Structure 1
């Protein structure tokens, strides 16, 4: 989640570091579907994290492809 905080530039000048974002907040921000009923279980969290990573990669590919097509 620290890497995601860097990705969305969630920096705290008070702490002089990136602030961690909870998994539930991260998947909500990116509209990533949660696995299961949203309970805090290891398997559901792993699935949600994997979906979240795949979704971020897919979005990045779209942005790169759009930039390539514009140039």
Structure 2
């Protein structure tokens, strides 16, 4: 969102409204970021598990 910084500073009502919107955006975005972080950890864990299985020859090539 692009906001004219002059209007943010010059008009206290606008500044307060923008700060309120920023706070609401953070309330929405923070849980999403936490979920994305958990998904990334699961993906990394699954990749590490698969690499470990391959390294330990758990998967055998069948000719």
TM-score (norm 2): 0.46
Greater helix proportion: 2
TM-score (norm 1): 0.42
Greater strand proportion: 1
